[in-house]
Structure 1
């Protein structure tokens, strides 16, 4: 039977680190259809991570097509396209042929770690970012310096560069061939641009001095646009011909938007491979003094931008994967909850998962993972609980840093990501934070955020208030731990973390 759609649908492209998805949503935010395709993770050497950008573009097209077929939707049923993407991943390609000149360098890649020199805070005031291996700008410069003739070609205007949203938008709007006589759009949004180390956080434009110091010719960079507004139309020869693209957000900003964190002081934490917490700080960027990053949360066309503080923790769900794959302590992620629930505490054991150093707010590259407090009494149940507690305690550190930087203490924490299915983890998180934790009815918050942004940009939604009305809370947890027990747990954690310092080669 052919599906009948009476209101415009929204197609959301969610281009992530390991896969590319398309979700088709209705105007109530309900997911009607979806498709997902993984892409290869390329590891040329220790610490290097790459993706084939052409493979990702192929997978995006396949995902859009498969999602539309799943619900038997026609292109005219779709009123808007939203896009969200892995951030900081950099692509450089030939403007004439549309072929990348090198694999995309992924946000996790560490080859540009020396960009900081002796001062990782050298560009913090202008960009909100620490100078390290994370941002996209130095990755672009690395490609120009390591592919024969690339820098000269870039200076001559033959090459284009951008983050993954820019690469996909260029292809979606026509690619090298253009569309109906119009060239493809070389554009990005403010949230992705704010992750490059090349954009001035206040002017929302590329900074010529930053570009010169990092080594990226401004001419090869895309035009920066508001997150919610006009990004052209999908090419006429594609699966969604002529559909307007009206919402583009980096993945963590999309999750913040999808959680309806529209008020200053609203915060969300995404529990995925790592942990990513963002706090809405309103129209003023707060430059961190406590190890956080300052980023653009979103901007509606014609309005002032909204800023956020962000804390990125390297190891979240990947700690449970390590217990499963490397140690064999659990058979699957669900068993970590089952085992941890069988004991009242971790028996004084702490796991500090500094497998490749510590990210926010400590930023200790010399740290390595440790397990502290082992006795003969300890068994795998205590280790499972210690792993969950490590997730909660790392989140506490970021939350406290955010409050110190902004002067705003969140009243509650909204959560999403794969780990939030663990009810015990959520209760432990409420206990450690001393605040309520809320899990949304739909945990697809990243894709939802891009869909809501696109719907707002195209007029399918009339206001942020209307969007907020679509975001329901499935369950909430309140603290049950006393202050004395919480303080003891935190003090033990701090002692354990200090044991991890200075262990790197």
Structure 2
């Protein structure tokens, strides 16, 4: 089955949008192709599950279902200045201070989460606030109850059911920044601080749940409701991949390497609040629901925020959450974007060619050269690059540098063909370095280290990257023989919601028993001696740090710190010899 990517609409100001109708058309085409490839008739389909890119939002007309905005993706950074302003506002700082005090008094995790909360562009809530600020007419229509808000899962569900179901699931809601994962309700304090009307928000339900039947699209049977296919599962892509990897027990860890890097660690049946970039999210939940209890949204143009039904503000009281599982999530926005940039620069054309380039660098001693000449790739936000491009490097020191897709390359001018091999190398190894930082952050706060890291996603195809990652983080890294983990996760929650499996444990156990025999020849990395060498030369690492001296500014201090860490990590794995790959 061929991919049907939706073209992104990008602008220099940080905009990254999608056409909502193009998303729907691509979705319908995907359904058609899936049926053709599987060679089955629609009447053989028991149920449907949806897994989507999270936090990509839009507004649409409640009566006509016509989009009123484009889909603003999680990569859109136009709200960065707004996020900074709100984070430094008196009201928000007062909320965080109250969170610190309440946590000190009660030691409840929910107050610790409030104390560590901050707005960032990846959250749907801050981009929704930016959208409403930019288009004041929309806020008036929202207050009058004329518009619906939703991310991609809500939009596709609305279109599939012909506007009869206005809902999302707990996994997708928990990452929007305006949902309280502890009380499992939309957060009234956050909504009030942002001025977002509550009546535009969808109802929140379990991941495995009866959401209605397909009425539109290739599988729609509006003329014969008895043939309608039920939609029994919705889950976010990162959580779906975690579920597929059979990470169901506390302290198991999964890393998805797609467009960005999503590190998920299981915390069990209770939410765990951490600081410094980690936040609690809901992984999945199931609910016992009858087919006549589908969440519906009555179209009433006269409704207002004060008249919004209680189901809009919280999970329906009639639905009990079973098998509720919480995750801790860490995030870096740089992974697949690096691969795309290398390909656009004609450094490679296929993944196999990229692997050859990376392994050839081992023979050419490029690690030693990169360390000797202080060559690194340091990821940065696009807005940071745009706003500080004149202060990142001190030109007086004559340091070579150039800008990558989401960061700064130090020590190269990208003029020689040999430099292209180095560029590919330092780009890919930065993914391993970012993984190390996230795991170290988690370990310092919890004093717990996962025994193995499961990886998936398109970028995880690289055996060289997984070997480098294992050497860097000091634990085995395993890639199982599973393709399209998010799709399989959607199938799992849909199957549980339809009663095909009694639990998520039963579903994943059945899945892995079936697929492991088919995938036993795919490689995974298992490095027994991958603990980092603590005897590396710290004075040499400090020298690398000292020689990179950007001009004084807040962002440059961060760059210098990151550069120092990168130097330290590379020095730690250079003395090691690769133990190769094992076959599962």
Q: TM-score, normalised by structure 1?
A: 0.82
Shift of 1:441: 1.1
Structure-2 separation of matches of 1:439 and 1:272: 14
Shift of 1:331: 4.4
Quick check: 373-382 or 399-408, which moved more?
373-382
Shift of 1:174: 1.1
Tell me which residue corresponds to 1:56.
Answer: 23
8 Å Cα contact 2:4-2:26 kept in structure 1: yes
Q: Does 1:477 align with 2:525?
A: yes
Q: What SS does the aligned partner of 2:555 have?
A: coil
Deviation per residue, 1:94-149 (Å, 9 max, x gap) = 00111111112111111222234263785772497531111112222333333352
Q: Does 1:139 align with 2:179?
A: no
Shift of 1:274: 2.1
In the alignment of these two chains, the number of paired residues is 459
Q: What SS does the aligned partner of 1:270 have?
A: strand
- Change in 2 beyond 3 A, CA 1:290/1:115: closer
Q: Does 1:100 align with 2:140?
A: no
Tell me which residue corresponds to 1:341.
Answer: 359
- Change in 2 beyond 3 A, CA 1:282/1:153: same
Tell me which residue corresponds to 1:321.
Answer: 340
Equivalent residue in structure 1 for 2:219, among 227, 239, 251: 239
Alignment of 1:67-466 (within 5 A): 67-113=34-80, 114-117=82-85, 119=87, 125-126=113-114, 130-147=118-135, 149-175=137-163, 184-235=164-215, 238-241=218-221, 242-301=228-287, 302-303=321-322, 305-326=324-345, 328-342=346-360, 343=362, 344=365, 346-347=367-368, 348=371, 349-356=374-381, 369-372=407-410, 379-466=419-506
8 Å Cα contact 1:128-1:294 kept in structure 2: no
8 Å Cα contact 2:466-2:477 kept in structure 1: yes
Deviation per residue, 1:128-182 (Å, 9 max, x gap) = 753111111222233333335221211111111111111111111112xxxxxxx
Shift of 1:391: 1.3
Q: CA RMSD of the aligned region, Å?
A: 3.4
Q: Which runs of 5+ in 1 are unaligned?
A: 1-33, 176-183
Structure-1 separation of matches of 2:166 and 2:196: 16
Shift of 1:265: 0.9
Q: What SS does the aligned partner of 1:300 have?
A: strand
8 Å Cα contact 1:75-1:240 kept in structure 2: no
Shift of 1:345: 5.4
Q: Which runs of 5+ in 2 are unaligned?
A: 97-111, 222-227, 288-320, 393-402, 560-584
Deviation per residue, 1:455-494 (Å, 9 max, x gap) = 11112223333333323374331224463279569x9599
Deviation per residue, 1:199-242 (Å, 9 max, x gap) = 11211111222112112100110001111222122117751542
8 Å Cα contact 2:475-2:530 kept in structure 1: no
8 Å Cα contact 1:455-1:461 kept in structure 2: yes
- Change in 2 beyond 3 A, CA 1:148/1:261: same
Shift of 1:290: 2.5
Larger fraction in helix: 2
Shift of 1:70: 3.1
Q: TM-score, normalised by structure 2?
A: 0.71
